[in-house]
């Protein structure tokens, strides 16, 4: 058994079979309809089979294929309910698990990267992986000083597989579009390709995680495991127990969901403000709820445990002040000022003549969660936004096609939308405005002193 299907021809063949499978099932469905079977039943069967094939393939291949699947999984809330059911189980399965590497491959990788005496670094090492992700898997162990640790081992050939997958997936990105209405998959794949080298560099990941661990030491709301050791394609960090966020999504109480959602929003905004680094992989598999040994205890005492800093956006000054300013001006209804700012930042190209009021009408429903003191994120709300933007007959669709997303904002946009997707999966009621006023530069209403100083 191969640890990772690395041969380009093998991976390409598996991925190329996906659009052929979609087409084949569509033709089969048409034949059944001609034979008299109900269209709704046929559609449900097609969606279920498509989901099973797509995400089984993405999970088995790991690499970029699985990475894309995990990125898409947080957006299942945007799917119409009659479609979401068949996809939901297949999508969310990718958030925590993937087929593991054989033990012999793990041992060979550790010997190559930590030296022939690698076992002396550990008092114990569990050969069974505790988690498997897109480019590496994690083993539980005990470090030589007695600390419980997580050992992240990169799959051999992960870099080659990652690039190959994303190149192939980019070729039929349009076919994946219906999975997430209102989202263009192609830029997402391109952005993933652009960050491959960072994702594969465990030294960069160690630096980013260590910076967060230092900043959040003793924090009452967020916990990040410290870095113990790192080498070429091996990363050892402190072990962190906790309830996976996916379990709260699947069966948590409303109180638990609300606490998890508030902590997630707090980390989204406070993390980048406090460290200058934006954690850029916010799918549920990267979060734990720390319950202080009492899972049934009061959720208000829970903390958010954060894992996987392989992809970060480096923002030394925090989120750009222009983001907070544009959001505040939009909520204030200042169409002219919003339009001018978006033009200055490149969201509106110089050759486009857009009506400022139309731009305001487009933005207001999207930033509705920041208007109220608290907002309940639901699948219905996200679905309505996706439908509004994806419907070619709607003014929102026509305007969205004329807007531009500058490269500097690509990752910020993806992280924000992914986090909103998770909040909708939780169905959490969150005081989002409070977090933004605290952590997002430019969002809070300027005081008289600030106005005077600025003037």
Residue 342 to residue 174: CA distance in whole angstroms: 28
Query: Same domain for 151 and 228?
Result: yes
3-state secondary structure 212-247: HHHHCCCCCCEECCCEEEEECCEEEEECCCCEEHHH
What confidence tens digit (pLDDT) does each residue in 211-266 have?
A: 999 999 999 999 999 999 998 889 999 999 999 999 999 999 999 999 999 999 99
> Under the phi-then-psi rule, with left for phi > 0, alpha for psi from -120 to 50, and beta for the rest, what region is 63?
left
pLDDT score at 150? 97
Residue 359 falls within a domain, yes or no? yes
- Of the candidates 258, 281, 308, 313, the residue annotated as catalytic is 281
> Under the phi-then-psi rule, with left for phi > 0, alpha for psi from -120 to 50, and beta for the rest, what region is 287?
beta
- pTM for the whole structure: 0.78
Query: Same domain for 113 and 208?
Result: yes
Residue 191 falls within a domain, yes or no? no
Q: Return the percent helix, strand and coil in the chain, to nearest 5.
A: 60, 15, 30
Residue 210 falls within a domain, yes or no? yes
Query: Same domain for 129 and 24?
Result: no
H or E element: which one contains 303?
strand 303-306
Query: Same domain for 220 and 75?
Result: no
Query: Same domain for 221 and 340?
Result: no
281 is catalytic: yes
Query: Same domain for 223 and 364?
Result: no
Tokens encoding 66: 């699985």
Query: Same domain for 337 and 232?
Result: no
Residue 115 to residue 428: CA distance in whole angstroms: 47
- Is the per-residue pLDDT at 39 higher than 50? no
* DSSP one-letter code for 445: P
Q: Which of 228-232, 273-277, 323-327 has the lowest mean pLDDT?
A: 228-232
Domains of the chain: total: 3
pLDDT score at 200? 83
What confidence tens digit (pLDDT) does each residue in 387-412 have?
A: 888 788 888 888 988 888 887 888 89
Confidence at 33, pLDDT banded by 50, 70, 90: very low
Query: Same domain for 109 and 233?
Result: yes
Residue 125 to residue 109: CA distance in whole angstroms: 14
Residue 199 to residue 280: CA distance in whole angstroms: 11
Query: Same domain for 41 and 113?
Result: no
Query: Same domain for 327 and 417?
Result: yes
Angle (CA) 264 270 272, round 5°: 105
Q: Which of 95-99, 189-193, 414-418 has the lowest mean pLDDT?
A: 95-99
Residue 186 to residue 173: CA distance in whole angstroms: 5
Residue 254 falls within a domain, yes or no? no
Query: Same domain for 176 and 201?
Result: no
Residue 249 falls within a domain, yes or no? no
Query: Same domain for 439 and 354?
Result: yes
377: containing domain = 321-454
């Amino acid at each position: 058994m191969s640890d990772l299907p690395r041969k380009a021809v093998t991976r390409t063949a598996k991925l190329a079979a996906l659009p052929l499978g979609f087409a084949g099932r569509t033709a089969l469905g048409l034949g059944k309809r001609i034979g008299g079977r109900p269209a709704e039943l046929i559609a449900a069967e097609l969606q279920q089979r498509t989901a099973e094939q797509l995400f089984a393939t993405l999970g088995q291949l790991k690499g970029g294929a699985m990475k894309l699947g995990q990125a898409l999984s947080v957006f299942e809330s945007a799917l119409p309910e009659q479609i979401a059911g068949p996809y939901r189980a297949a999508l969310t399965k990718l958030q925590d698990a993937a087929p593991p590497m054989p033990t012999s491959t793990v041992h060979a990788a550790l010997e190559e990267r930590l030296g022939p005496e690698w076992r002396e670094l550990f008092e114990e090492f569990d050969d069974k992986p505790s988690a498997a992700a897109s480019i590496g898997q994690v083993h539980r162990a005990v470090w030589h000083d007695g600390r419980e640790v997580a050992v992240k081992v990169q799959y051999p050939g992960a870099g080659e597989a990652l690039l190959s997958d994303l190149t192939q997936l980019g070729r039929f990105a349009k076919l994946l579009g219906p999975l997430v209405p209102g989202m263009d998959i192609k830029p997402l794949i391109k952005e993933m390709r652009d960050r491959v080298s960072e994702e594969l560099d465990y030294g960069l990941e160690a630096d980013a995680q260590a910076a967060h661990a230092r900043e959040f030491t003793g924090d009452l709301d967020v916990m990040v495991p410290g870095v113990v050791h790192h080498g070429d394609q091996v990363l050892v960090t402190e072990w962190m127990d906790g309830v996976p966020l996916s379990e709260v999504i699947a069966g948590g109480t409303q109180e638990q969901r609300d606490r998890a959602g508030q902590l997630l929003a707090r980390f989204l905004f406070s993390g980048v403000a406090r460290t200058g680094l934006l954690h850029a992989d916010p799918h549920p598999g990267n979060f734990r709820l720390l319950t202080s040994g009492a899972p049934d205890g009061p959720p208000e005492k829970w903390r958010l445990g954060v894992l996987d800093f392989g992809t970060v956006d480096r923002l030394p000054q925090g989120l750009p002040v222009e983001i907070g300013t544009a959001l505040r001006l939009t909520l204030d209804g200042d169409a002219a000022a919003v339009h001018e700012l978006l033009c200055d930042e490149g969201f509106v190209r110089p050759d486009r003549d857009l009506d400022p009021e139309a731009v305001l009408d487009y933005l207001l429903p999207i930033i509705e969660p920041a208007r109220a003191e608290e907002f309940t994120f639901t699948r219905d709300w996200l679905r309505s936004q996706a439908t509004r933007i994806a419907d070619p007959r709607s003014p929102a669709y026509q305007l969205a096609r004329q807007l531009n997303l500058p490269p500097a904002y690509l990752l910020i946009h993806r992280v924000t939308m992914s986090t909103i997707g998770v909040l909708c999966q939780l169905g959490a009621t969150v005081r989002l405005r409070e977090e933004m006023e605290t952590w997002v530069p430019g969002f809070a209403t300027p005081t008289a002193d600030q106005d005077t100083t600025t003037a």
